[in-house]
Structure 1
Amino acid sequence: MEYSQVQVPKYDCLLFDLDDTLYPLSTGLATSVLKNIQAYMDEKLGIDESKIPDLCNLLYKNYGTTMAGLRAIGYDFDYDEYHSFVHGRLPYENLKPDPVLKSLLSSLPIRKVIFTNADKVHAIKALNRLGLEDCFEGIICFETLNPTHKSTASDDEDDTEFIGSTQSSTAVNGTSGVFDIIGYFSQPDAQPSGLPKTPIVCKPSESAIEKAIKIANIDPHRTLFFEDSVRNIQSGKCVGLDTVLVGKSQRVKGADYALESIHNLREAIPELWEADKIGNVSYTGSGVVAVETSVTA
Structure 2
Amino acid sequence: MDDTLYPLSTGLNLACRKNIEGYMLKHLLMEESEVPKLCVDLYREYGTTMAGLKAFGYEFDNDEFHAYVHGRLPYEKLKPDPVLRSLLLSMPQRKIVCNSFILVCAVESIAPNSKTWKWSSQVFTNADQAHAHQVLNRLGLNDCFDGIICFETLNPPNYTNVPTDTHLLTWSKSFNKDCNQVESGCFNSKTQILCKPSVEAIEAAIQIANVDPRKTLFFDDSARNIASGKAAGLNTVIVGRSDLVPGADYALNSIHNIKEALPKIWEVEGELQQMIQSPAVETMVLA
TM range (shorter): 0.7 to 0.9
2 CA distance for matches of 1:197 and 1:269?
35
Question: Given that residues 72 and 198 in structure 1 are in contact (C-alpha distance below 8 angstroms), is that contact kept between their aligned partners in structure 2?
Answer: yes
1:133-148 superposed matches below 5 A: 133-148=142-157
* Higher mean displacement: 50-59 or 66-75: 50-59
> Which one of the candidate residues 28, 32, 40 is aligned to 2:23?
40
Shift of 1:236: 0.3
Find the partner of 2:212 among 206, 216, 219: 219
Q: Which amino acid aligns with 1:230?
A: A
Identity of aligned residues (%): 61
Do 1:38 and 1:52's aligned partners in 2 also have CA atoms closer than 8 Å? yes
Check the 8 A contact 1:109/1:276 in 2, yes or no. Answer: no
Letter of the 1:239 counterpart:
A
Unaligned runs of 5+ in 2: 95-120, 160-164, 171-184, 273-277, 281-287
The two structures, once aligned, show a CA RMSD in angstroms of 2.4
Separation in 2, partners of 1:225, 1:129: 23
Distance in 2 between the 1:25 and 1:54 partners? Answer: 21
Q: Does 1:118 pair with 2:111?
A: no
Which amino acid is 1:137 matched to? D
Q: TM-score, normalised by structure 2?
A: 0.75
Query: Could you tell me which of 104, 107, 129 is aligned with 2:90?
Result: 107
- For 1:143-222, what aligned pairs fall within 5 Å after superposition? 143-148=152-157, 163=168, 197-222=190-215
Which residue of the partner structure matches residue 241 of structure 2?
A: 248
Output the CA distance in 2 between the equivalents of 1:163 and 1:278: 32
Q: What is the CA deviation profile of residues 74-128 of structure 1, one whole-angstrom value per residue up to 9, with x for unaligned ones?
A: 1000000000000001110110000100000101101100000000000001000
Q: Give unmatched runs, 5+ long, in structure 1.
A: 1-17, 151-159, 166-191, 280-285, 289-297
Q: Runs of 4 or more off by more than 6 Å in structure 1?
A: none
CA distance change for structure 1 residues 76 and 226 in 2, over 3 Å: closer, same or farther?
same
Query: Any idea what the Cα deviations from partners look like across 1:190-221, whole Å, max 9, x if unmatched?
Result: xx9xx994110000010100100111101011
Tell me which of 243, 256, 259 is aligned to 1:263: 256
- Secondary structure of 1:226 counterpart: strand
- The 8 Å contact of residues 143 and 163 in structure 1, kept in 2 or not, is answered as no
Question: Is the Cα contact below 8 Å between 1:40 and 1:82 reproduced in 2?
Answer: yes
Q: Which has the larger radius of gyration?
A: 1
Deviations 1:10-48 (A, max 9, x none): xxxxxxxx0000000011100000000000000010011
Matching residue's letter, 1:228: D
- Provide the residue aligned with 1:97 in structure 2: 80
Letter in 1 for 2:129: K
SS at match of 2:34: helix
Q: Figure out how many residues of one structure are paired with residues of the other and give that number.
A: 228
Deviations 1:117-174 (A, max 9, x none): 0000000010000000011010000000001259xxxxxxxxx996268xxxxxxxxx
Equivalent residue number for residue 118 of structure 2: none
Q: Does structure 2 retain, via aligned residues, the 8 Å contact 1:144–1:162?
A: no
Aligned-pair CA distance for 1:277: 8.3
Q: Is the 8 A contact 2:46 2:189 kept in 1?
A: no
